[in-house]
Amino acid sequence: MAEKKKGLIRRFFGAIWAVYKGFRSTVLNIIFILFVILIGSAIFSGGDKVEVAKTSALYLNLRGDLVEEKRFVDPFAAIMNESLGGQEETPEVLVRDVVAVINHAAKDNRIQAMVMDLSGLGGASLDKMLAVGKAIENFKESGKKVFAYGAFFAQNQYFLASYADQISLEPMGAVILEGYGSYPMFYKSALEKLKVNTHVFRVGTYKSAVEPFTRDDMSPEAKEANIAWLNELWLQYKEQVAGRRGFALDNFDETFASLYAKVAAAEGDLSKYALDNKLVDSIQTREEFRRSLIAVVGKNDKNTYNHVTFGDYSKLVLPAKQFDNPMTEKVAVVVARGMIIDGTAKAGTIGGDSTAALLRRARHDDKVKAVVLRIDSGGGSAFASEVIGQEITLLREAGKPVIASMGAVAASGGYWIAAPANEIWAAPTTITGSIGIFGLMHTLEDAMKTLGLNVDGVGTTELAGVSAGLPLFKGLTDPMKDLMQLMIERGYTEFLTMVGKNRNMSIEAVDKVAQGRVWTGRMAQEFGLVDKLGTFDDAVARAAEMAGLSQYDVKVIQQELSPTEQLFVDMFGAAQAKGWVPSFGQSMQNRALRQLSQQVQQDFVLMNQFNDPNGIYSYCLSCQIH
């Protein structure tokens, strides 16, 4: 039977649809081709060349937190967030990048001075700022001047500013140094109002990591332990700054009465108060500061002093990618930053399996002769910590010495992964120790009753339903609690035994300085928990010495981006650098409310990351300072 012929109207609209589809396909293909050409041009073109005047200043305008390792951020999401007006909540700057840029500038004859703009500097521990400060001192030793200028210097910003030859403050500016404190948020009453029951199992008089969920205030034991290391940290801050600024320790105002008296003497003028108390060298307007720098390095076509920003100069001196020389022997560096969790994790969090894999790469790399494990962690999963510790032991058995280099924090699980190393190096300001174990579980049996909900059924044993989460809804029985406490006590004994074995100490000696107590690096060395005080560079040099290396390269072993992630970085990163990714404005948020929401979010994200298969943790919550 012959096929029925389509009607005229149907053929007419069919022809229109075919034309439309063809037109749409052509347009989309053209747009795609243009997009590929655009991005390809961004990737493969030489780009806008950074020009450095014959006499210029390095404008050290740091933006973000100083860190050992940048946390992983999805490259596509980051580019889209920025183009749509969003801002990275906590931008980060690698300490080693800052040090490398300053050291290169010290040898660059075009760079005659450095100007520190620290208004964008966020979080920074003393050990990281000391590393940057050492580079600044190296810069000054080359005969070049360093200037710091700003409207307001917060505590971290002022610590770095104190390295400058001259600190200048704006007429309505201020310098406020408030000291260190530890002020976690407490949730006990809030959880009770929600009828959430908290069950705690722990060992250690000073193990206070669970207190925010079991108390409404800091315990006397936690206050006693925390004030000891906070005072030590504050003393080191004062000694460093006072030594560079040339005034006595009592020049720091630690009471409102003292601060009021001095500000009153300056007639309420905070900039004059800073000048009178030798915190700054001069009070200058921005134009006055610009003119003073023009006299040093000359004037550019924008009517300001010749300078190159940190970001632009970084493009000149820092390689876009790390290239490995296959001929040289190596000291490998593995960074362990963040909370320790079971399994794999992206950079910025320590996954037991993923960090162990990095160490294993070092073990199987014949060119790697020694390893430095750089730790900046308050701990986490005890199981994951042990997985990492086992890999360190295997490195040593393979004849490759391992140096644990402690950064800002290497406490609880952070100390666990350090203990198996051949030697432990710490900064005097490192926060370490907190050797203790705890278990934490929340149950909802009372909330279930209030909501009129119930879970019921039968099982072949008393254990049935435990792995499915039945205790969350039914609560913990006394036998469950006894079993959990027994496991925690066993975990603490294993922690003490492991530390004692690796540190050549008796279990009793370890227990005496354990119990969850937190120490500074200097204190920890006195107790035998740390071998040497020194910088990261000192640790690298010691690793090379132990391996018998006189000539070597330092190789950072880190997680690699997937091919798709790397493609997005290459494509959109290059296009963004050229300004080809559009921006649609930025929104402002209330700073205080943002900090509050971030604190609550941080605490509960932290609890959500507690994924130890046995529910046993070694974590130091009080190691966070403000």
Pairing, β 379-381 against β 617-619: antiparallel
Helix (H, G, I), strand (E, B) or coil at 252: coil
For residue 176, what are its two tokens? 């406020």
Give every CB contact of residue 267 below 8 A, 6+ residues apart in sequence: none
Contact 216, 188 (CB under 8 A): yes
Contact 380, 415 (CB under 8 A): no
CA distances from 362 to 29, 63, 272 (A): 46, 32, 55
CA distances from 290 to 162, 300, 328 (A): 20, 11, 46
Report the C-alpha gap between 257 and 235 in whole angstroms. Answer: 20
Amino acid at 551: Q
Residues annotated as catalytic (active site), given as ranges = 207, 412
DSSP string for residues in 416-431: HTTTTSSEEEE-TT-E
- The residue length of the chain stands at 626
CA distances from 35 to 40, 48, 178, 316, 592 (A): 8, 20, 52, 28, 42
Report the C-alpha gap between 310 and 320 in whole angstroms. Answer: 15
Provide the β-strand partners of residue 425.
405, 532
CB-CB neighbours of 545 under 10 Å: 13
Report the C-alpha gap between 302 and 607 in whole angstroms. Answer: 51
Helix (H, G, I), strand (E, B) or coil at 255: coil
CA within 13 Å, CB half, 305: 25
Amino acid at 396: R
Report the C-alpha gap between 496 and 435 in whole angstroms. Answer: 8
Phi, psi of 47 (to 5 degrees): 80, 170
Closest by CA to 352, choosing from 403, 376, 388, 399, is: 388
* Residue 89 buriedness (CB in 10 A; 0-12 / 13-18 / 19+): exposed
Phi, psi of 606 (to 5 degrees): -60, -50
Indicate if the alpha-carbon torsion angle 337, 341, 344, 345 is positive or negative: negative
Report the C-alpha gap between 235 and 250 in whole angstroms. Answer: 11
